[in-house]
Structures are given as C-alpha cells and as structure tokens.
Chain A
C-alpha cells in the first residue's frame, strides 16, 4: 500500500485568477485553493487544489453558479457532479519539484505576491496568487531541496540550478557559431555584415553564459563576477549588463534608450460625437485614430467606431450616405446568403467543394469560444449566426473559402456587433487586411515570420541568436499570434482593445510585429536562462496566453518603434517593414495603409466597394459605389524580400 504523503507545507487562500470571457465585465474571477508541498513515495510535489473540489461530492448549486460565471463549458454535461469535478480539476496543479526549472515572482510593488512555476519541458502554470501571504514561506521550504538562483537579468526570475554535464563537454565546434540553416554566410554577410557578425559573436556569449551558469562554476560566484568573466574571455567585446530589460548584450549598435510612453483612456462617446460635423463626417480622422491608438475605444461605442476602422463606413461618409450604404450592404449580404441557402440537398450531393466547406465550418463553429457567454450552451442561436456568416463569406470570397482560424477572427466581431449583417461586413473588412495569412501557400505567414526575424536581428541580437541556435530562428512559435492576431492570447476585452489599436495603423505599419517583439522581450530571460529549446519555447509561448499584460506590451512595442525611428543606423530593410521608408521607385502617399502590404497580386478580388475599404485613410474616391481598382495599390513594391541595398554599416 502506498504510504500517506507527508505534508511539508500548506497554505490556503492561494488563488488562480482566470479571465472572465465576458464582454460585460473586465474583472477577473478568482478560484480559491490551497497550496501544498508534499512528500510522496515518488518524490516531492508542489500541488495546488481548488478548495471547492473537496466539497463537490454534494455539490451546491452555488458552486456551480460560480463555475458557470467564469466561463467553463456550462453545457449539458456540466450538469452532472462528476464532470464538474473534472472541470475543477482542470486547474489543479501537481508537479514533482525536480521537474521545476524556474519560477517568476511578482514585482515587489504588486498588491500581493504571486508565483508562476515553469517546468523543464516548458510547461508554464497560471500564476498562484497568495492573497494572504505565504509565498516566501513556500519558497523557503523549496530551498531545502533545490538550489535556487536569481536571474541576473530579470530580478523576478529565479532559476533552479541542476547538473547538466552535457553542457560543459560541448566544444566550440559543436556550437557551429556561424552556421545557419537559412542561407550561406557570405551572402548574408554582404547583405548585412553588421548583424551577421554580431549574431555570430553573441552565440559565443550564449555558449559562455550556458557554461558559466553551470552550478559547478557559478553557484559560489556572485553574479558580478560572472559578468566580469564573460568580459574577460572575449577581448574587445562590449558586454553590458544593464538591468533594464532588453539590451544587456553584445550589441554595438546601441539603439537609443527606449523611451517611456504612456497609454491613455479610451475614446469616449462625447469625444467621438464631437469629432463629427453636422452631416456626420469625421472631422479629423488622424486625430481620432491617435486617440484610439493611445487608449482604445469605450465599449459602448465600439459597435459604431469599429465600422469605420474596418471600412464598413467611409470616414468621410455622412449620416445620410451611411444609411444608404447600410441598406446596400444588407441587400448584398442576403443576396449572397441566399446563394448557398438555396442549394438543395440534391444539388449538394454533386457539389463536393461546398459540402466540404460546410463540414469544416460546422466543425469549427461548435468549438469556437463556447465558454464565452455569447456562445455558451447547447443550441445557442448565435452559433447559427457564426455559421451563416462564415458560409456567406465562402460565397463572397470563394477562392479563399474557409480556413481554420477565421472563426476566431469573427467571434469577437460578432460579439461587438450583435448583428449578422454588420458582423459580416466588418469581418470581411478584417479579412481584407489579413487574408494572406490564410492563403494556400501561407506566404503571408511566412513573410511575417521572416519580418519578425529581421526586426529582431536588429533590435535584439542576443535573443535572436539564442533563438537561432535553438532551432527557433524560423519563429514558428509566433504562428498562432500572427494567424489570428493574438486572439487566443488575451481575454475578450483585451483582444478587442488590441485589435482596435492595430486597426488604427498607428504608429506604424506592421505594429503587430513589434508587439511580438515586445512580448518576446518580456520572456527573454525566461527563455534564455532556462535554456529552452524548440519544444520548450513553443510550449512556454503557448502556455503564457492569458498571462500577457496588454498595456505593458503595447507600451513596449511603441517604445521599440521610437527606438527604431530615432536610431540613425536602422537598416533600410527594417525601416521598410515598419513603413519608415518610402520606396524610392515611386512616390506613395505616406506609408500604405495596409498593415500587411504584401503580395496582393494573386488575390481574389470580388466586386463590391471592398477596394475602398482598404485605403480608408487615403482620400475617398467620389462615388463610393464605383469599385475601381485604385492605381495606388502600392503594396507590391514594398516587398522587403531580397532588398538589394547593401547595408553600409560597418562594425567600427
């Protein structure tokens, strides 16, 4: 018989905060629980158990009301007690402390302490919030079993030291300092001697860092000494260990210091109405976009403002023209809806492509945001609306069809619009911006992944080369972020906020790529000091969803933009990605308004004023119904691939 586990530590009032997937509330819900350190037969375990689980055998409805309200699958099965316990269990945590790789503590000025545990395989648990203290005591207990060391670069990060004999025996040869799967070095060097060289050098630092951080070497050494060692070993290389996040390394192109930027309050209803003239035209589009960029939009007027941001209405439209436009859109929508609705079963039997799409959509609709109030419960009529919009979009853009991920993009829009027709056209407007993500050849995705790479190569050589040398230089771990615009990474209110910020196309083109950089910057120490490889990086990045601070990420991303803008040495291919440089071949008014301005040549173009929607910042063409292709469809020449200009920077 198994022996009873010995309780070495126990603390109650330890909460997991979960996002309420509700559009009515911005508040988090808390699940109360207890944290334990247990000595079991198999080893020492940290466990967290929801307090309710114990009492669930005779469940009270109150427990369930709570669970329902936080957005868990309140479907038919949730009516049985056992399923409820299963759901509670979902949050329960149990891991062997020897699987622990590191943990993050809350910043000292945070209201109460929390700890995020990260395992060796990259598993990242939700933060445990110690509302009534106890986190220190737990960590003290842990210190009896583990060597814990604070990260030199991130004061919140603590690394468990363990023995990894492989590391020390690694020779420099194995490091393949200048090998790179993505192309030959010479051409890379010619193209960009600067980052290629430093990238190679910083692999040396990565190696040294890995070696020096072995317990045999570093446990007894204060971190200053380690830093000194690093400096001694590579004469002439500049290594700075500033404590500010981001740029502590080997880089000689100093970007200017990242400026502090601030966020503001959302665009309020009064301000919005003040921006309209008597006919309903928006007076200063740029200014209104600035307000939205800085603080988002008040939830009460999203339903209206999003229509402008997504090209449903033109910024210069009047009340009157909008009424007409809406009528036209309603008619047009139902015309297209009728097209697939009127296909009989007999016809469908001989229409495999439609049948297939119908099947794909059905499958995804039933599993899209079912924990959100708007879509929860069996037979929820909103699921039908979701389905019908996606089916109609197939008729609207038959060449693209339905691709997984689209339902994720539609769902928050439908939640805001609460109307089938409006949601459809706003969704179509969003798809116009991101459809290359969904094309068969995935070229939009590939391009963006390579753009992140190019940006990071310049902004953070150290992290870039770390990722490259850990099979992650393709940045595929950002795939989900890019494909559905961080939809799975944030709760609904945050996603809505983020999207409206992005739709302003401020402060630059491809701002979402800088947000990727900002989030990765925040995770940098965790990735590097845990020595995460391809799988761990992907797992960690997948696991931090709902744990990313949106405002911080937006601020940091804007800060990076300012740095790139101010830096005199920003290479032109980097500038082009974020639209800081106008191609010399043709004068284009400002930067293109498309966030993803790549390869539109093979794009399926259908009738309708959709073209106008894309360029809503440029002067509107007169009759909004004239669906002419604008000669300014400038995106093709902005393709940054194979930019020929040799960068004139020299490592001086």
Chain B
C-alpha cells in the first residue's frame, strides 16, 4: 500500500474543470466527408482510415481551455446520408455551434454543405455559430475539387467562418474547435447587441486580424 497523504473523503479539493461552460456543438455534412473523424481527432487524437459510418448519432465530449475559461464541448456527430436528414433537427436543436463539413475533393459535398448552412440559418436562432470545414486537405495536391477561395467567398457571404482541415494529419482541427470556443466566449458579450454575427465571424476570415494565437498558449 502506498501510505501517501490523501485529501479527506468527499474530494475536498476543487474539481479541475469544474464550472466549465457547456457548449452544444453539432457536426453536419454529407456522407463520408469526415465528420466522425474530425470529432475523434479532436477528442481522442486518433485517426482511422476505416472509421465506420455513423448510424443514428454519436455523442462525444471534450473540454478545452480558452483564455483561461474551460469550455466543455458536447459534440453530436450525425449520420451523413441524405436519407437520415430528417433526424438532424433533433441534434442541432439547441446547439450553440455547428460545424458543417465538406470534403475538398468533392463538389457534391460542398453543395450539400450549402444546403446545411441554409437549413441551419433558417431553423436555428441567429446566435448559432456556424463553421464551415473543408476536410481532407491532405489530399489537396492530387484531388482537390473545391477551391479554397471559392469556399472562403461563400463563407464570407454567409457569415460563417471557414477553415480547411485534415482529420488524418490533425491539421487545423484544434484550431477549428478552439476558434469556435473563442467565438462562444466573445458571443457572450455581444449576443444581445448583434442580431447577426456576420461582422464578428467575418473578422475571422482575415486570419491575421483575429487574435487566434492567444488561445493556443497559456
């Protein structure tokens, strides 16, 4: 037995991450664009080429620290195929943030992303933060089909923030979630003022202007 000193029963010490701000986030997008892979990369730091298709929905949690605040993501990962579209409202209802994912090697998935954005903007309140993630950027050299500029233009027009990601290499995955968390925190202050957050999210598009770096250290 270890005869080490222990805190009294009941766990007197403050719970780390206690009082974390909860944030419901939903992943939407066409079949096979990498929704589950993005979530798993973020939560477990893992990647599997043969990640099985999501049936129904999956739920994951992960806590991140942003500007000294703990944000606990409740992540709903949904099935992508059109056929299961009717289930999606159950998962995006009440979400503070959504990541609409497309595959940069598939124009069809980008078109699908448009309709998701449209639906979200119609069905959810103006305060839901929407990120547009162009996944599989590791394949850009060989098979890119959606130009970054095109996606950025679209994002700008629709008040989203856009990032190209790779769940496989991990590129921009942390950044994606961190930025969402930052936005949530920012939103807390401005939410009552702005009906649409287009201004704030548009800021994000000019990457330099946004103090993203601040979040990574500390």
Give residues in A with beta carbon < 8 Å to B. Answer: 6-9, 39, 42-44, 73, 75, 77, 86, 89-90, 96-98, 121-123, 143-147, 356, 359-360, 363-364, 366-371, 403-405, 407-408, 438, 440-442, 476-477, 479-480, 483-484, 488, 535, 538-539, 542
Contacts and interface: CB of A to CB of B under 8 A. Distances in A.
Given A6-B2, A75-B50, A484-B55, A144 B81 contact: no
B4 A483 contact: no
Given A42-B16, A360-B31, A404-B79, A145 B2 contact: no
Contact of A479 (B50, B53, B56, B74): B56
A43 B32 CA distance: 38
B81 A143 contact: no
Find the residue from B15, B16, B51, B55 having the highest chain A CB count within 10 A: B55
A612 to B, nearest CB: 28
A367 B51 contact: yes
A479 B9 contact: no
B16 A442 contact: no
A364 B55 CA distance: 12
Nearest to A8: B2
B159 to A, nearest CB: 28
Given A73-B50, A488-B52, A488-B55, 5 more contacts: A145-B9, A364-B32, A404-B80, A407-B53, A479-B55
A144 B84 CA distance: 47
Contacts of B31: 360, 363-364, 404
Contacts of B16: 42-43, 96
Contact of A8 (B4, B11, B59): B4
A382 to B, nearest CB: 14
B75 to A, nearest CB: 10
A119 to B, nearest CB: 9
Interface string B64-79: 0000000000100001
B6 A535 contact: no
A140 to B, nearest CB: 10
Q: How large is the interface on B (under 10, 10 to 19, 20 to 34, 35 or more residues)?
A: 35 or more
Nearest to A539: B59
B61 interface: yes
A97 B7 CA distance: 13
B10 interface: yes
Nearest to A42: B16
Given A122-B59, A145-B9, A6 B15 contact: no
11 contacts: A44-B11, A75-B49, A121-B74, A144-B6, A364-B53, A404-B55, A404-B80, A442-B84, A442-B86, A442-B87, A535-B74
Given A367-B52, A367-B53, A535-B59, A360 B46 contact: no
Contacts of B11: 44, 97-98, 145-146
B9 A143 contact: yes
Contacts of A442: 83-84, 86-87
Nearest to A438: B83
Nearest to B61: A121
Interface string B35-48: 00000000010101
B50 A476 contact: no
A369 B52 CA distance: 8
Interface string B1-43: 0101011011101011100000000000001100000000000
Given A75-B49, A145-B6, A145-B7, A98 B32 contact: no
B137 to A, nearest CB: 18
A367 B50 contact: yes
A77 B49 contact: yes
B57 interface: yes
B27 to A, nearest CB: 14
Chain B interface main SS type: loop
B90 interface: yes
A356 B4 contact: no
Contact of A480 (B32, B51, B56): B56
A368 B7 CA distance: 48
A86 B46 CA distance: 7
Across the A-B interface, the 9 shortest Cβ-Cβ residue pairs: A479-B56, A363-B32, A370-B50, A480-B56, A480-B55, A404-B81, A539-B59, A42-B16, A367-B50
A98 B58 contact: no
A542 B58 contact: yes
Contacts of A441: 86
A43 B11 CA distance: 10
B40 to A, nearest CB: 10
A363 B79 CA distance: 13
A121 B90 CA distance: 19
Contacts of A480: 55-56
Contacts of A484: 55
Contacts of B7: 145
A77 B50 CA distance: 11
B2 to A, nearest CB: 5
B186 interface: no
Contacts of B118: none
Contact of B46 (A90, A123, A408): A90
Nearest to B106: A359
Contact of B84 (A43, A147, A364, A404): A404
B212 interface: no
B180 to A, nearest CB: 18
Nearest to A89: B46
B9 A147 contact: yes
A438 B82 CA distance: 11
A86 B40 CA distance: 13
Contact of B4 (A6, A73, A360, A476): A6
A7 B6 CA distance: 11
B108 interface: yes
Contact of B59 (A96, A97, A147, A538): A538
A99 to B, nearest CB: 9
Nearest to B15: A98
A483 B83 contact: no
B59 A368 contact: no
B2 A9 contact: yes
B56 A483 contact: yes
Given A75-B49, A144-B9, A145-B9, A356 B56 contact: no
B32 A8 contact: no
A483 B84 CA distance: 11
Contact of B83 (A363, A364, A440, A479): A440
Nearest to A72: B48
Contacts of B50: 73, 75, 366-367, 370-371
A535 B4 CA distance: 38
Nearest to A479: B56
Contacts of A370: 50
A371, A438, A441, A538 pick with most chain B CB within 10 angstroms: A538
Nearest to B76: A535
Contacts of A77: 49
A536 to B, nearest CB: 8
A476 B87 contact: yes
A396 to B, nearest CB: 18
Nearest to B103: A363
Contacts of A144: 6, 9
A91 B44 CA distance: 11
Contacts of B17: 96
B90 A476 contact: yes
Contacts of B46: 86, 89-90
A304 B61 CA distance: 46
A73 B50 CA distance: 8
